[in-house]
Amino acid sequence: MSAFHPIADIATARDNAAMGTVERAFQLAPGCRTIDELRAKLVREGHTNIDAHLQGSLRRDLKKLLANS
Protein backbone atom coordinates (compact mmCIF):
# COMPACT_ATOMS: atom_id res chain seq x y z
CA MET A 1 0.00 0.00 0.00
CA SER A 2 1.39 3.39 -0.91
CA ALA A 3 1.63 6.21 1.60
CA PHE A 4 -0.72 9.17 1.37
CA HIS A 5 1.03 12.31 0.18
CA PRO A 6 -1.49 15.19 0.17
CA ILE A 7 0.52 17.54 -2.02
CA ALA A 8 1.51 14.86 -4.54
CA ASP A 9 -2.03 13.43 -4.64
CA ILE A 10 -3.56 16.87 -5.26
CA ALA A 11 -1.02 17.58 -8.00
CA THR A 12 -1.72 14.23 -9.65
CA ALA A 13 -5.48 14.79 -9.54
CA ARG A 14 -5.05 18.29 -11.00
CA ASP A 15 -2.82 16.99 -13.81
CA ASN A 16 -5.27 14.18 -14.62
CA ALA A 17 -8.21 16.62 -14.72
CA ALA A 18 -6.26 18.94 -17.01
CA MET A 19 -5.67 16.06 -19.41
CA GLY A 20 -8.44 15.64 -21.93
CA THR A 21 -11.27 13.34 -20.94
CA VAL A 22 -10.91 11.18 -24.04
CA GLU A 23 -7.15 10.82 -23.70
CA ARG A 24 -7.45 9.90 -20.02
CA ALA A 25 -10.24 7.41 -20.76
CA PHE A 26 -7.98 5.54 -23.16
CA GLN A 27 -5.21 5.48 -20.56
CA LEU A 28 -7.52 4.11 -17.87
CA ALA A 29 -9.55 1.67 -20.01
CA PRO A 30 -7.15 -1.31 -19.90
CA GLY A 31 -7.41 -1.29 -16.09
CA CYS A 32 -11.22 -1.25 -16.05
CA ARG A 33 -13.74 -4.02 -16.63
CA THR A 34 -16.75 -1.87 -17.59
CA ILE A 35 -17.60 1.54 -18.99
CA ASP A 36 -19.30 2.33 -15.66
CA GLU A 37 -16.06 1.59 -13.80
CA LEU A 38 -14.16 3.78 -16.26
CA ARG A 39 -16.71 6.58 -15.90
CA ALA A 40 -16.42 6.41 -12.07
CA LYS A 41 -12.64 6.77 -12.25
CA LEU A 42 -12.93 9.77 -14.57
CA VAL A 43 -15.44 11.43 -12.22
CA ARG A 44 -13.10 10.88 -9.24
CA GLU A 45 -10.35 12.61 -11.22
CA GLY A 46 -12.54 15.65 -11.83
CA HIS A 47 -13.62 15.09 -15.43
CA THR A 48 -17.08 16.34 -16.42
CA ASN A 49 -19.51 15.68 -19.28
CA ILE A 50 -18.01 12.23 -19.62
CA ASP A 51 -20.88 10.68 -21.56
CA ALA A 52 -20.80 13.54 -24.05
CA HIS A 53 -17.07 12.93 -24.63
CA LEU A 54 -17.33 9.15 -24.93
CA GLN A 55 -19.97 8.61 -27.58
CA GLY A 56 -20.18 6.63 -30.79
CA SER A 57 -17.00 5.12 -32.18
CA LEU A 58 -14.94 6.29 -29.19
CA ARG A 59 -17.18 4.28 -26.87
CA ARG A 60 -16.89 1.22 -29.13
CA ASP A 61 -13.09 1.53 -29.17
CA LEU A 62 -13.01 1.83 -25.38
CA LYS A 63 -15.18 -1.27 -25.03
CA LYS A 64 -12.67 -3.17 -27.16
CA LEU A 65 -9.90 -2.13 -24.77
CA LEU A 66 -12.01 -3.16 -21.78
CA ALA A 67 -12.67 -6.57 -23.27
CA ASN A 68 -8.97 -7.14 -23.91
CA SER A 69 -7.74 -6.15 -20.47
**Residues 29, 22 contacting (CB under 8 angstroms):** no
Q: What is the pLDDT of residue 3?
A: 59
pLDDT of residue 21: 92
Question: Please, what is the end-to-end C-alpha distance for the chain in angstroms?
Answer: 23
Give yes or no for a contact between 35 and 62, defined as CB atoms under 8 angstroms apart: yes
pLDDT at 68: 72
pTM given for the model: 0.71
Where on the phi/psi map is residue 62: left (φ > 0), alpha (ψ -120 to 50), or beta? alpha
pLDDT tens for 1-56 read 455 555 555 556 656 555 799 999 999 999 999 999 999 999 999 899 999 999 99
pLDDT value of residue 61: 94
pLDDT of 27:
93
